[in-house]
A and B are shown apart, each in its own frame.
Chain A
Amino acid sequence: MNSHSALGGLLRRPESGAFLGLIAVLAFFGIFGGLTFLQPAGMASWMNVAANLGVIAIPVGLLMIAGELDISVGAMVPFGAMTVAVVSGHYGLSIWLGIGVTLIFGVLVGLINGYMVVRTAVPSLIVTLGSLFAVQGVVLGLTVLITKSTSVALKVEGPAKAIFGDFVFGGQVQAMVLWWLVVTAAYIYFVHFSRFGNWIFAMGGDKVSARNAGIPTERMTIVLFVLSSTSAVFVGMCQAILYNSAQVAGGQSFIFNSIISVVVGGVLLTGGFGSIIGIFFGTITFAIVNQGIYYTNFDRNWSALIIGVLLLVAVLMNNTFRKMALSYAPKKGVK
């Protein structure tokens, strides 16, 4: 292979659009945000936001690659926060018990979501819309019943705080960033290097053919839903430990933000195409756009507009690269 097609090969990967988008927004805010943005405190801002979002965005993205949607993550985040806060804050029980109960609830809701999607003909968007409202209702109802308020305080000390909800490395970067990097590496292995990853792409490309090829599509779908629910609950839990309280409302923004990160990262909304590294870059791109503006002198009222425009540009770039990958044909006579 000559160097020309090597570069071409790199450009045709799904991650390339997302990577270029990331460089572009980094440059944009580096210019307009100046030194404050490029210093550790500034970099830590978007890293922290990216980490919390990224842990949820990857399984949401995997589900999208496999042809499904999970919007119940928006309710699972406050569910996780409130569970650990009620168990370990309101009732004062051990934080490890609170963490355990929270994660178990995450797995349970994931199992319910997955089971309903594979057993009924109802599309996953509708199933998870139902669980979104159901979980929201449960969180509000139980919290008010138990604590008579909609906000619960939580004070955690010791190893649990250090592992889940504190800052590391000189105090600007959240522990969640480490969790995010480890989890991303694991996903990259499973999706791009192990056999199971191929199965996920097959399910999203053509579910019937995948099943006929012997892939256990139902089991894999349930596993993916468990991953997304548990990840969302985990993020909510860590945030409650870090910020010392949990609110009943909140978490809704994770639904759209994770879908944006995933789409900017090159995942096709219709499934069958995407990459974990792409989602990683997409999440960072979104986080930079989300936080970078505070380091600039732009009027804050325009934040939403700037976010929208930058993300649109990123998605258009991805589309172009994907078309290039699909229409690639080596010229005749050139070997």
Chain B
Amino acid sequence: MKLVKTLLKATAVMALMATTASAATIAVIGGSNDDAFWNIIKKGIDDATPAVVANGGSVNYLRLVNYDNFAPDVVQLIQTAISMKVDGLVIPDWVPEAEDPAIKQAVEAGIKVILMNAGGADKARELGAINYVGSDEYVAGQAGGTYFGTHGQKNVLCVNTLPGTANIEARCKGVIDGITAAGGKGAQLPLPSTSFGDPTAVAEAIKAEMIKDDTIDGIITISAGDADSAAIAIEQAGKTGKAMLGTFDMNQAGLDRIKASTQLFAIDQQPYLQSYLAVSLLASAIDFGTSLPTFPVLTGPGIVDASNIDATLSGVAKGAR
């Protein structure tokens, strides 16, 4: 009898030890299936997963079906992760008012949380997350402005087709501060909603500004699509070769222009790195108790220009950029 009891106890303890050792169940919450950005995030997750699995863990990518009922759906996914009793949660803090209570709940339940892509360092500290992995719009803007400055531009125009949105405003503010610090000057061109989505209206507005102010020698747009309009505007204003073009985010046409040297650069927040690093850091913290002093971990801005365009293009082909 005593022997059976001992054996049972030993099995239980061994089982417990085994479960504790293979404990890194991680949930990652992200955007919908047809969203190209969140498909790049998926590649980062997929590439980091083998290491997690090798250490006995698992990674689950919980994706929103669509964005129609955004905030409640995200909160629901967080609750699902908590009820799955995961060890780690990678979550973007898109809608703080709705998500913060649920994230705090996860932290209190003993789940290690990393904020990814949206939220920022301060929010991560406030909620008790172990890190923020992503980019900072203002810092990205500064990088853009500084790049123009070191390249010799003196007057940069930041074209904002979504005036009033906080993160886009931060981008342009960063650009202006960056170019000013480099010794030049910058201004924002806010375009009203009647111009949104109409490439002709955007292009003609940029052209008009360039004609009015002859000294503008740098244009930066807040979206890759707007850069296509800006490229034509620069031609029409007769400033080809004299005014340089940069943009936030990338698209194929923009990369082609960088390769053909008609566009100077693109600023990429490098989503592949966001998910790859977030998952790896979290798994390591859970399995081995590591902690990273770098807080936050900024994955962007990554500047794509003539010097790394070829590697970038092959990354795009692999779905990692």
Contacts and interface: CB of A to CB of B under 8 A. Distances in A.
> A and B touching (C-beta < 8 Å)?
yes
Contacts of B232: 242-243
Contact of B190 (A167, A242, A303): A303
Interface string A244-269: 11010111111011000000000000
Interface string B212-237: 10000000000011001101100011
B208 A301 contact: no
B236 A251 contact: no
B72 interface: no
A49 B208 contact: no
Given A144-B34, A245-B225, A303 B192 contact: yes
Contacts of A148: 36, 39, 319
A78 B228 CA distance: 15
Interface stretch (A206-214, A273-281, A288-296): A288-296
B198 A152 contact: no
Contact of B192 (A49, A151, A304): A304
A145 B39 CA distance: 11
B194 A301 contact: no
Given A45-B208, A247-B225, A307-B194, A291 B36 contact: no
Interface string B18-47: 000000000000000011100100000000
B200 A239 contact: yes
A135 B285 CA distance: 46
A244 B228 contact: yes
B198 A243 contact: no
B190 A245 contact: no
A153 B208 contact: no
A167 B236 contact: yes
Given A151-B253, A307-B192, A45 B198 contact: no
B122 interface: no
Contacts of B237: 41
B232 to A, nearest CB: 6
B211 A42 contact: yes
Contacts of A123: none
Interface string A62-77: 0000000000000001
B204 A253 contact: no
A167 B193 CA distance: 26
Interface string B51-95: 000000000000000000000000000000000000000000000
Contact of B253 (A141, A150, A245, A307): A245
A151 B249 CA distance: 11
Do most interface residues of chain B lie in helix, strand or loop, or is the interface mixed?
A: helix
Nearest to A245: B253
What's the interface size class on B, roughly? 35 or more
Contact of A252 (B196, B251, B253): B196
Nearest to B319: A148
Contacts of B200: 48-49, 52, 174, 239
Contacts of A244: 228, 231, 253
A172 interface: yes
Interface string A279-315: 0000000000011001100001101100100000000
A300 B211 CA distance: 16
B302 interface: no
A253 B197 CA distance: 6
Contact of A52 (B36, B192, B198, B208): B198
Contacts of A140: 34
A249 B212 CA distance: 30
A36 B211 contact: yes
A171 B209 CA distance: 18
Contacts of A46: 204
B256 interface: yes
B319 A295 contact: no
A149 interface: yes
A250 B207 CA distance: 20
A300 B208 contact: no
7 contacts: A151-B224, A151-B252, A242-B232, A243-B199, A253-B196, A304-B194, A307-B192
Given A243-B228, A245-B251, A253-B195, 11 more contacts: A45-B207, A141-B34, A148-B39, A151-B224, A153-B252, A243-B229, A253-B194, A253-B197, A254-B198, A290-B201, A295-B211
Closest 8 CB pairs of A and B: A250-B197, A294-B208, A151-B251, A153-B253, A245-B253, A304-B192, A153-B252, A247-B225
